[in-house]
Homo-oligomer: A and B are copies of this chain.
Amino acid sequence: MSTARGARARARTEVTAAIKDEARRQLAKEGAAKLSLRAVARELGMVSSALYRYFPSRDDLLTALIIDAYDSLGQTAEAAHEKVADAGPIRRWAVVCEAVRGWALAHPHEYALIYGSPVPGYAAPDSTVPAASRVALLLIEIVRDAHRGVGVALPRLPAELKPEARRLGQDLAPDLPPEVVMAFAAAWAQLFGLIGFEVFGQFNRVVEDREAFFRHAVAQLGHGVGLVFPQDTGTGGGGSRSGS
């Protein structure tokens, strides 16, 4: 990305961007399953064979769109986080979750591309993993901060899950106790359950004030991973809820 690069290179990135823009437009109209190189080319006034100089196949174009979507989401979440970097973990958790929701609602088709049904006949390559991990890594960083020093009581892990938690913790956050790692993995999936239900219309005629609902649900999710208030006044009994 040097500032002084040739006109060729600049033209290439411009065309690449135009292709992806048009592909995203088609994604919105017809869905990922019907994404067709030919249609993209036609809309751009190019010929389909010319597209292959930019993307070797339809699947590669799809992969690029997927990585872009993950990165766009990740960047949105990270930017939102930076604005409250000095706040406590609870607030940062809420802000990041709400940023993820906001992005999903603003980009429902790209959300469907990365968190919706798999595209028939397409398998995402490993090259999507780093971008796909950004939100999870950001969230677990917040959880790590929350657990630094203070040991929050979470429900004990069943023995069968201990090895799983250790394995997962090694990659993710070696300093976190296994029950926090597992609770985080669950919260991660559950966060996207909440968002997916909203984006995909499952809350239609069920939950109306979705913003308030999400705020509340996400706070509870945070409790589940040990994000409790140092002095928890207002919101009632937070973290460990299991005493009969």
Contact = CB atoms under 8 A, between A and B. Distances in A.
Contacts of A220: 155, 183, 186, 224
Contacts of A25: none
Contacts of A212: 158, 160-161, 164
A179 B229 CA distance: 20
B31 A202 contact: no
A203 B185 CA distance: 9
A115 to B, nearest CB: 7
A236 B153 contact: yes
Interface stretch (A15-23, A73-81, A96-104, A191-199): A191-199
Interface residues of A, number: 70
Nearest to A239: B244
Nearest to A186: B217
A86 interface: no
Interface string A165-206: 001100000000000001101100111111011001111011
Nearest to A189: B197
A228 interface: yes
A235 interface: yes
8 contacts: A116-B117, A153-B241, A158-B241, A189-B197, A190-B194, A192-B197, A224-B224, A242-B244
